Chains A and B, each alone.
Chain A
């Protein structure tokens, strides 16, 4: 089974530009989450989509947005880029599985897109 794929792997942009990152989940997974990783703030949750609807959201400004398509592929967009947006952006997909009478969603992470803002 193919893993989570993210494109592009590396990206360089300048301040003020916008960027779109893409994530293809594992086949059959309907939930896609996005995370930002920086040396200063660590790994931070951005948002999660399930069946084309944003289900969970982290504490990021409105410049960060996302969407999910009917085939579960997801994109995230950052507008008006700032230097502080330089980060590794990770995507994860999950599928519920039974665990002790409830369900647990193990998240499978992609390799990430490293964005550099100059």
Chain B
């Protein structure tokens, strides 16, 4: 299982881009990188995933380095509602999510 390392906490001003890094240096070729977030007292919510290429959807962008050993989740215009714990996962089996400790993102006014 590829282990991921994330900073325990980050702050971001409302309206600014939030860039959340994730290190997954032991990732193997068939392992996806995917991100979920958990807003307080709710179940985790899927954000985005990728294998090799950068990805963008209505919620965020995912930038994966060429060697796939790290990635960055970008929330382009953070709002207060984006305050949550963000989990980066690198694993081949998308039916079995292996969560790490995540990054607690605090968006402030």
Contact = CB atoms under 8 A, between A and B. Distances in A.
A4 B42 CA distance: 12
Q: How large is the interface on A (under 10, 10 to 19, 20 to 34, 35 or more residues)?
A: 20 to 34
Interface in B58-109: 87, 93-102
Contact of A99 (B43, B49, B99, B100): B49
B21 interface: no
Interface of A: 4, 31, 33, 35, 42-45, 48, 50, 55-56, 58, 90, 92, 94, 99-100, 104-112
A31 B97 CA distance: 13
Per DSSP, chain A at the interface is strand
B49 A35 contact: no
Contact residues on B (Cβ < 8 Å of other chain), bracket: 20 to 34
Nearest to A57: B96
B contact patch SS: loop
A48 B33 CA distance: 20
Nearest to B38: A43
B54 interface: no
B43 A112 contact: yes
Contact of B94 (A90, A104, A109, A112): A104
A44 B99 contact: yes
Given A43-B44, A104-B32, A110-B43, A33 B49 contact: no
A42 B102 CA distance: 9
B45 interface: yes
23 contacts: A4-B43, A35-B97, A42-B100, A43-B38, A43-B44, A43-B97, A45-B97, A55-B95, A56-B93, A56-B95, A56-B96, A58-B96, A94-B94, A94-B95, A100-B51, A104-B32, A106-B46, A106-B49, A107-B36, A109-B44, A109-B45, A111-B42, A112-B43
